[in-house]
Amino acid sequence: MATQNKITSGLLFRLIAGIFIPILLAFAFLGCVLFLNIDLGGFQFLSIRGIWSKSMSELGAASLKESTASLNKLGEQIIQQKAEDVAREIEISLGSMKKRPPMETLRHDGFLKQIAVQKVGVTGYTAVHDARAINHFHSNPKLVGSDLHDLSGKLPQFWKLLEKGLGGATGGYYNWRDPDGSIRPKYMYIAPVKGADLFVAATTYIDEFSKPAQVITAKMGQMQKTYAAQYNRRFGLILIILAVVLLILLAVIYLYSFSVVRPIRHLSEVADKISMGDLKATVDVKTTGEIAVLAQSIERMQASVRAAIERLQKRR
């Protein structure tokens, strides 16, 4: 009896395993597709969740890059326009003078100074120097009259751009170190003043124009975090549903397997009783198919053994 129970228990396990393991593997594959990210250097596998997260990150980076480039370009045009406008205003102002005084005198002309030094962006300004790189108008009075050649060693990028501007209109970038030690790029455009040996340089931090893009990107990042949280909750719900479905499937598979094994176990017990001489054991199997055929065969075997025993008894 113990042997029979062991056999039927093994059959039950094999039935459950044979049905459940493929389903479990299918669910595992689905879980990998949904959640698992693998990065082995040359080989990379991204889940649906990973693809979404990467796409959002790339979208944010691309948006920041494109918007920053566009706003920087706009900033360059604004700085250039400011330099050209100031150069034109100085040209008109000097042209209105019957006799142009020397630059040492013009430096103290309040009206001309107001024209020459104007605000650019948030912190920038315009300044005026001549072809010898002598500064004549500047927002810092201490720099008025200074020789800009002295900056060639301290600010090589600035001087290279300024030197190029002595030959005509030009624009470009140079790095500027702030008092806190941070380095930020500035854009400068140099426009010549027609009819005078003067040049207007307009400069400011270029990131003053791209700050709106950074604000928008920060908002996009916040939105991405909010959507990611909602996305994760949805995926968590999907994971719970998959786990519940898996448990229900396991229960259904067990009940189905048990319904298959139970009549086989019963027939095994009946056959065991018959082998022990109990010819009155009842074959109680209410099913169809191959198991029903097996039950009928055992009943015929039982009847045949009973008839054979009765014949032997009559011969005695």
CA distance 300 to 294: 10
For 77-97, write each residue's pLDDT tens digit: 999 999 999 999 999 999 888
Judged by DSSP in three states, 156 sits in helix
| Identity of residue 290 | E
Residues 6 or more apart whose Cβ sits within 8 Å of residue 119: 125
Stretch 68-77: mean pLDDT: 90
Local structure of residue 31 (DSSP, 8 states): H
Q: Does residue 209 or residue 56 have the better pLDDT?
A: 209
The rounded mean pLDDT for the chain is 83
Find all residues with CB under 8 Å of 227, minimum gap 6, and list them: 56
Rounded Cα distance, 67 and 6, in Å: 73
Q: What per-residue confidence (pLDDT) applies to 174?
A: 95
pLDDT digit string (tens) for 22-69?
A: 877 777 777 777 666 677 766 767 777 677 677 777 777 777 788 888
Domains and CATH numbers, the chain: 2-45+214-315 (no CATH), 58-205 (3.30.450.20)
